[in-house]
Structure 1
Amino acid sequence: MNKVGVLVLVSGLLLGGCASQQTTAERAQQYEDPKDPLESFNRTMWDFNYDVLDEYILRPTAVAYVDYMPQIARTGLLNMADNLEEPSNGLNNLLQGKLDGTFISLGRFLLNSTVGLLGLIDVASEIGLNREEEEFGEVLGKWGLNTGPYLMVPALGPSDPRSLVGDVVDSSYSPIDGLNFYLGFLRVGIKALESRASLIQQEQQLNSSADPYAFVKSAYFQNLEFKVTDGKVEKSEEEEALEDDIDAFLDEF
């Protein structure tokens, strides 16, 4: 599983809580989302992920990891985990016709795996070879495949059929996952802990929202679109017309 993969996974565990006073059934009846035909089931899994898995397992583990693991060790472990994903980044860049990204990812993997002591030190970034992260789910999106229905997967969090297939394919690229299950599991665990730790500061904001479930679902699909379009999200005609009017107004001053 890659970096969206893990970050989205952890976000689902964090945000699965029921912040409003309404019951799951009452909230589910408020609106119908064509992207979320399984909303009743998804909201139940949302509550389970947050109230049980995150509260008793993931969050305490992430807090302990941050408190007791030296920062230099955390950085090294995360660098190693990221380095093991470079082969999948390279292939996914290639499948999208991004040759520059392909060579950068492969160069990063070779350089960090050797000079960087198996990825412990991110030497490549120090010389300007910044990470070109791509997922197979993004490749499928580029090829025109829709996400399918929104899914709140038990223990995994927000997802969709396209992303799930992408995660499976990305995992098959990893040289460690194919050779040693335990090292592959460690890689995913490190990414999950770091991602969960990075979300601690956002807990209050998320828990205070009227409907965290709907908020995160919207953010999830926006994030997928952002990745597939490489940040070039298409605007509606109304939005473009409004921006033109604003620009014309400002030009008068």
Structure 2
Amino acid sequence: MRCLLLLSLSGLLAACASAPDAPEPERDPRDKLEPFNRAMWELNYEILDPNILRPATVGYMAVVPSPARRGVDNFLSNLREPDSFVNAGLQAKPASMAISAGRFLVNSTVGVLGLFDVATKIGLHERREDFGQTLAVWGVGEGSFLMVPARGPSTVRDTTGDLVDALYSPLGLFNTPLTITRYVLSGLTQREKAMSMEHLLEDSFDPYAFVREAYLQNRLFEIHDGNPPEQDDYDDSYLDEFF
């Protein structure tokens, strides 16, 4: 019996050794760091989110009433208007500059330090601009897609832009405790907004690839102010594999 078992194992190993290697799946050329990014995806969305961020967000939603949470979101958004103003100027968009300046002035005064979004109600709709978009307008390539630890999807260009925005943003004037509080509240607010999208990840074949594509397409939309150029070779049939 032992001899037969050894012979069977030997035959199985020989068959495995002689079998041709399965071809590796073709990688997205925009994701040159995919092995690292997938590892960070596991950290962010398989460990940190279900064990820390999502439970904290659920608790935040249970304790803080919806109007108060909306006020926090408005306050944080208002503090980013100077960033949009500067980047609109760097992109030569005077209309966007005027809107960002008007929104900041109206919401910081009539809107009680930004707690109420009065500007939108009077027709000054937000036009978010950041330095990542500025770099794109200047012709800087986006670099590889990047899954940032404890944060989420980005690109090399957008991550660089975030660092530059922090240099002149009024948010940089916060001391350490206030900065930590801002990051926590911002994370909770953004996670709350993502609650309605959870079913898309759960139903997708490859959640990582789905998030990557959604992020890159959304950034293209933002860079071109809602009018991205048509791509002749674009084929949305690949989306079928995600659902």
Q: What are the residue-to-residue correspondences of 1:1-253 with 2, within 5 Å?
A: 29-237=24-232
Return the offset for 1:238.
Answer: 6.7
C-alpha distance in 1 between matches for 2:114 and 2:150:
28
**Paired residues of 1:149 and 1:161 also in contact (CA < 8 A):** yes
Question: What SS is found at the alignment partner of 1:199?
Answer: helix
Q: Secondary structure at the match of 2:147?
A: strand
Q: Distance in 2 between matches of 1:187 and 1:176?
A: 9
- Provide, for residues 80-126 of structure 1, a one-character-per-residue CA deviation record: whole Å limited to 9, x for no partner: 11111010011111111111111111122122222222111222222
Task: Give the counterpart letter for 2:68 in structure 1.
Answer: A
* C-alpha separation in 1, matches of 2:213 and 2:230: 16
Q: Equivalents in 1 of 2:73, 2:96: separation in Å?
A: 21
Q: Which amino acid aligns with 2:130?
A: E
Cα distance in 2, alignment partners of residues 87 and 197 from structure 1 = 25
Q: Could you say which structure has the larger radius of gyration? A: 2
AA matched with 2:212: K
Q: Aligned partners of 1:30, 1:40: CA distance in 2, in Å? A: 13
- Structure 1 residue 186: deviation in Å? 2.6
Deviations 1:186-238 (A, max 9, x none): 33322221221122222222122111111211222111211111122222447
Count, aligned residues: 212
Q: Which runs of 5+ in 2 are unaligned?
A: 1-22, 235-243
Deviating more after overlay: 119-128 vs 181-190: 181-190
SS at match of 2:76: helix
- Tell me if structure 2 keeps the 8 A contact 1:49–1:154: yes
Per the alignment, residue 20 of structure 2 pairs with: none
Partner AA of 2:202 in structure 1: N
- Bigger relative contact order (CA 8 A; separation at least 6): 1
Q: Call closer, same or farther: CA 1:238–1:214 in 2, change over 3 Å.
A: closer
Structure 2: which amino acid aligns with 1:40? Answer: P
For 2:49 and 2:60, how far apart are their aligned partners in 1?
Answer: 15
CA distance in 2, matches of 1:29, 1:166: 34
Kindly state the Cα deviation for residue 141 of structure 1 after the two structures are TM-superposed: 0.4
Write the letter of the residue equivalent to 1:125.
T
Cα distance in 2 for partners of 1:127, 1:100 equals: 16
d(CA) in 2 for partners of 1:69, 1:178: 26
State the distance in 1 between where 2:233 and 2:41 align.
34
Maintained 8 Å contact 1:43/1:213? yes
- Cα distance in 2 for partners of 1:60, 1:190 equals 14
Aligned to 2:18: none
Q: CA RMSD in A?
A: 1.8
Q: 1:209 to 1:234 in 2, by over 3 A?
A: same
